[in-house]
Amino acid sequence: MEYTILGRTGLKVSRLGLGGGGPSQLGQSSGRSEGESAAVIRQALAAGVNFIDTAEAYRTEGLIGQAIRGVPRHEVVLSTKKSTWSDAQRPPITPAQLRASLESSLQRLGTDYVDVYSLHAVEIEQYDYLRAEIVPAMQQLQREGKVRFLGITEAFHSDTQHIMLQRALQDDVWDVIMVGFNLLNQSARERVLAETLRRQIGIQIMFAVRLALSRPERLKEVIAGLIAQGQIQADEMDGDDPLGFVLQGGALSIPDAAYRFCRDEPGTQVILSGTGNPDHLRQNLASIAAPPLSPEVTARLRHLFRNVDSVSGQ
């Protein structure tokens, strides 16, 4: 396993991180047993993965807590998140709710601190409130030693242009951010990663594969939508097999190319993989250890999708 440093946190982290959410939720969303999901977590750890991301909303904190019991705490970098969404029925979160939620997360994870504590899927409309009212409470938890570093994650599915993160990057409070990036929507390159690289902010990449890059029928729909919107050019695409050139260029599969593409993007650190399938995890570990994609394939992917900022890859 290759390791890197998570920006200014100084934490040594594996390039592949295990994601506890997404469509898979460690396999819980497709009916796998808790034992099977725990086995995938242990498989990842045994392969050298030391970064695990979860959230209060995923209902996988408890599973992760069980699976890492007995592992020396300093050998695992734990990231979890506080839900922030609010609407007419749910008013904005309060500092007291943040504290209570973190205490519950710690209990489920079986630890007395988390390495990265993030505000989850923040929308631009909520940002100023959270910055003013909730960040000081996060900093207090940090002073108490319950949280090591502060993070924020975007709602990439709705904020495909990274509007919220571009605002967040104007403040110097975030040690780590989680950003959506994949070969279909590379718009984080200029809008987010250029700045995080300059400021040494830690990066977790989400949506590397998601649905469009793991399900061929979904990929076709997404490509057709992008052509209809004028974000990609039909005459530049290879008809029925738009990413066929990736396989001809040596990638083993589209997910394989997708993880390698993210790994080799300058400024990326932890590439999250959200899987509950031991075979997929094995493949993804191999992808993260594989050589770079060929320069021709990388250049063509960058060129074909250069204008895309309207899809997440869901």
105 counts as binding ligand NAP under rule CB under 6 A: no
Is 168 an interacting residue with respect to ligand NAP (CB under 6 A)? no
To the query of whether residue 58 is one of the catalytic residues in this protein, the response is yes
Interface mask (CB under 6 A) for ligand NAP, residues 220-259, using x and -? -----------------------------------x----
Measured between alpha carbons, how far is 269 from 148 in angstroms, rounded to an integer? Answer: 18
For the CB of residue 6, give the shortest distance to ligand NAP in the complex, in Å.
15
User: Nearest CA to 168 among 158, 157, 182, 155?
Assistant: 155
| Whole-angstrom distance, CA of residue 160 vs CA of residue 313 | 10
Closest separation in Å from C-beta 276 to ligand NAP:
4
Which span (19-27, 104-112, 139-147, 299-307) binds ligand NAP, by CB under 6 A?
A: 19-27
Choice among 58, 117, 127, 259 that is catalytic:
58
Looking at this protein, which amino acid is placed at residue 85?
Answer: W
Quote the least distance from Cβ 53 to ligand NAP, whole Å: 4
**Contacting ligand NAP (CB under 6 A), which of 120, 131, 146, 260?**
120
Q: How far apart are CA 102 and CA 11, in angstroms?
A: 21
206 is a contact residue toward ligand NAP (CB under 6 A): yes
- According to the binding rule CB under 6 A, does residue 153 interact with ligand NAP? yes
Residue written as token pair 């490509």: 223
Q: Which one-letter DSSP state was computed for residue 290?
A: S
> Among 138-146, 187-195, 203-211, 241-249, which window interacts with ligand NAP (CB under 6 A)?
203-211
Asked if residues 302 and 308 have their Cβ atoms less than 8 Å apart, the reply is no
Question: In angstroms, rounded to a whole number, what is the distance separating the alpha carbons of residues 185 and 183?
Answer: 6
Closest CA to 171 of 190, 147, 152: 152
151 binds ligand NAP per the rule CB under 6 A: no
Token couple for 37: 């999901």
Do 306 and 186 contact (CB within 8 A), yes or no?
yes
Q: Is 268 in the site for ligand NAP (CB under 6 A)?
A: no
Q: By CB under 6 A, name the one of 184, 208, 293, 301 that touches ligand NAP.
A: 208
CB of 277 to ligand NAP, least distance (A): 4
Q: Residues 66-95 vs ligand NAP: string with x where CB under 6 A?
A: ---------------x--------------
- Nearest of 274, 300, 252 to residue 44 by alpha carbon: 274
**Both structure tokens of 36:** 């099977």
By CB under 6 A, the count of residues binding ligand NAP is: 30
Among positions 209, 219, 251, 293, the unique one binding ligand NAP when judged by CB under 6 A: 209
Phi and psi at residue 75, in whole multiples of 5°?
Answer: -85, -10
Encoded tokens for 206: 């989400």
Options 7, 21, 65, 151; binder of ligand NAP; rule CB under 6 A: 21
Cβ atoms of residues 267 and 297 within 8 Å: no
Cα distance between residue 129 and residue 117, in whole Å: 18
- Positions annotated as catalytic residues are 58
- Would you tell me which residues interact with ligand NAP (CB under 6 A)? 19-24, 27, 53, 81, 120-121, 153, 155, 178, 206-210, 214, 255, 272-277, 280, 283-284
